[in-house]
Structure 1
Amino acid sequence: MTVTTMTADAPIRYPADLHQALEQMLAVLAQERQALSGLDIDAIMGCAVGKAALCSRLEAVPAEALDEECRGMVDAARRLNEANRRVRNLIAANVSARLDALTGAPAIYRARAGEVRAHHARTARAR
């Protein structure tokens, strides 16, 4: 009996490979959650690379290859990814609010964009 070790970029050919890849995805998503909570940018980027590599491997798997257990893992991964996305968005909103407070003029670029649109509208009518 030959035992093969699967590399990170190996194609998924067997149900066991699919289970392992989905387990790895769940682990990476859990690591990402920890990295987000600790604001560890290196770990966040590492998780992003890991997720992209796993997605590349998983995208070639036909939907009919998923058994009930795999469907459950896919659903769990989907929920974890959504939760992580919400945390990332909250962090980004918090950073924006802090930057706005620091400058004392919130969303300067948005106000300026309105002025630019108004100027373009006025000059278009004048032509």
Structure 2
Amino acid sequence: MSADLAGNLRQMIAVLEEERQALATLDADALNCATRDKQALCDALAPTGPEALDAETRVLAETARKLNEVNRRVRNLLAANVAARIEALGGGRATYAATNFAHA
């Protein structure tokens, strides 16, 4: 069981590193693959509780957690940048006017 857990966590770390690369290059296909792979690994890890972690798997889980957090922050920064660009194109009043028009 511990060997399977360690293997799954190592795979998760590899997928998270692939996701980071895909985010850096804005590779949508690679992001989709990473998302699918992460979900499959989460499903494989789901039956495992914290009591199953030994020293090695605890370190692997912590590494995966940190990588996932970095990737989450990068995704949020990219989303904020897109939102700012769209806002700059349309301006705040255009959004208000469209909303106001819809209610008129």
- Give the TM-score taking structure 1 as reference length: 0.72
* In 1, Cα distance between equivalents of 2:92 and 2:66: 33
* In 1, Cα distance between equivalents of 2:33 and 2:92: 32
Kindly report which structure 2 residues correspond to 1:4-19, keeping only aligned pairs within 5 A, or say none: 14-19=1-6
* In 2, Cα distance between equivalents of 1:95 and 1:106: 15
Out of 80, 92, 95, the residue aligned to residue 106 of structure 1 is: 92
Sequence identity (%): 52
Aligned pair count? 99
Partner of 1:65: 52
Out of 31, 38, 60, the residue aligned to residue 44 of structure 1 is: 31
1:98 Cα deviation (Å)? 1.0
1:100 Cα deviation (Å)? 1.4
- Give the TM-score taking structure 2 as reference length: 0.87
Structure with the largest fraction of helix:
2
Consecutive unaligned residues of structure 1, counting only runs of 5 or more, are: 1-13, 117-127
Consecutive unaligned residues of structure 2, counting only runs of 5 or more, are: none
Q: CA RMSD in A?
A: 1.8
Q: Which has the larger radius of gyration?
A: 1
Structure 1 runs, 4 residues or longer, greater than 6 Å off: none
